[in-house]
Amino acid sequence: MEDCPELVHGMQPTRWISLPMGCAKVNFDGANLHTQTATGIGGTCRNSEGECVAWQQHYREFEMSPEVAEAFATLDALQWARRQGWRDVIFEGDCMGVVKKIRANTRDLSPIETILSDIFSCFSFFNSVSFSFVRREGNHPAHLLAHSALLNLEGDGNPPPQVLDAVLADLI
């Protein structure tokens, strides 16, 4: 397999950019509502042609701050990719603070430090791994999954139609 390219720091385009053959792109998101004591986690995986080959969503019965929810979604995406056996992966999330901390690979005393340690320990599984910040528009399918998970939905079979529509919209 070819290595996944390291993406440029900063914002990425919101439309699909082809990947090297054998590389996967995983988008992830965490969501919570102020009116609910729950967190939703969502993620999609696309192959080098941009096809959605897998998705997941999880409902958690505890409320997290937005930063903790995003860090937890990041860890969940890494663990999901490892379970699936994807070894060359580009990860994209829409929380700039979490992505910056991962890319800097530094330790601090933030509320997400323990989650960051778990994230860093997952890296050894992968042949190549990179993290990029993407605007919410470029993370729309994962965002939809995270928010629909708040309805207490779980899943990893066929993506809901609105998620497929969002994936297809990126390809146009």
**Does pLDDT of 172 surpass 80?**
no
pLDDT for the residue 3: 36
For 62-109, the pLDDT digits (tens) are 878 889 999 999 999 999 999 999 999 999 999 999 999 999 987 778
Please give the single-letter amino acid code of residue 65. Answer: S
Q: What is the pLDDT of residues 116-165, one digit of tens each?
A: 999 999 999 999 999 999 998 888 889 888 988 887 665 555 666 777 67
pLDDT value at 33 more than 90: no
Question: Can you name the residues that pair with 12 across neighbouring β-strands?
Answer: 134
Does residue 19 have a pLDDT over 80? yes
pLDDT confidence of 44, banded at 50, 70, 90?
very high
Write the burial class of residue 168 (CB in 10 Å: 0-12 exposed, 13-18 middle, 19+ buried). Answer: middle
45-73: average pLDDT: 88
Question: Residue 89: beta bridge partners?
Answer: 24, 129
Model confidence at 8: pLDDT above 50: no
pLDDT at 7: 35
Position 52 pLDDT exceeds 50: yes
pTM of the full structure: 0.84
Domain ranges of the chain: 20-167
**Looking at domain 20-167, what is its CATH homologous superfamily?**
Ribonuclease H-like superfamily/Ribonuclease H (3.30.420.10)
Q: Please check whether residue 77 is in contact with residue 129, taking contact to mean a CB–CB distance below 8 angstroms.
A: no
